[in-house]
Amino acid sequence: MQYEASLYFNFPAFRDVIFLVIDNQAVPDEIKTNGDFVGLYNNKKLIGVNIFNSNTYLKMRIDGLCHNPNQPLIAIVGSLVKSYLGEDVGLIQSPLYVALVTDQLSNNTFKLDLGDSRTVEATNQKEEIKVGDYVLISHKSSRLDNGHITEEFLSEGTDYLVVGVEDNQLNQDILGSRTYILKEKK
């Protein structure tokens, strides 16, 4: 089984420990250790990995969630976890997609165009959104910056959450793109 993990690193807070989060809702009931690698399990399923003394294996220069891990990082982390814990772990790419608001269905529910003949509904909780805005959305199964799964913030029957409104000059060619590099409105 391949697990999909979010990679977190924060040197000032945790020194050189990498956290791979697979399921932050589950509580570990089993811990397996091999050297600096600690696998956290719940009901025999891997829910997280802690890599202590991570600077021994690779150097990280991020603070928080790694949104867009490149292929070399994905390969190194996967190889290390496989070698030390025998588990197949990949890193999750950015959970955010660009969409265009095409209709407002209710006060906080919108119809969005993802540019590939798909129209989806999304919920918004904070920002003022209007028809014609380009927005960043996260699918219900994605992990947000705060570590929570998007679904926790959605109403029944909605698959996407609007997490930001773009203030860049965008066009329809970027719809559906997976990104985190665009600048959100403050």
> Region 161-175: what's the mean pLDDT?
72
pTM: 0.66
Could you give all domains of the chain from N- to C-terminal order, each with its CATH number?
2-91 (no CATH), 96-174 (2.40.50.220)
- Indicate if the pLDDT at residue 183 is higher than 50: no
User: Could you read off the pLDDT of 150-163 as tens digits, one per residue?
Assistant: 888 887 888 888 88
User: Could you read off the pLDDT of 17-60 as tens digits, one per residue?
Assistant: 999 999 888 999 999 999 999 999 999 999 999 999 999 999 88
Tell me the DSSP string of 107-152: SSEEEEE-SSS-EEEEEESSS---TT-EEEEEETTSBPTTS-BGGG
pLDDT at 172: 65
The residue among 79 and 167 whose pLDDT is bigger is 79
* Residues 80, 57 contacting (CB under 8 angstroms): yes
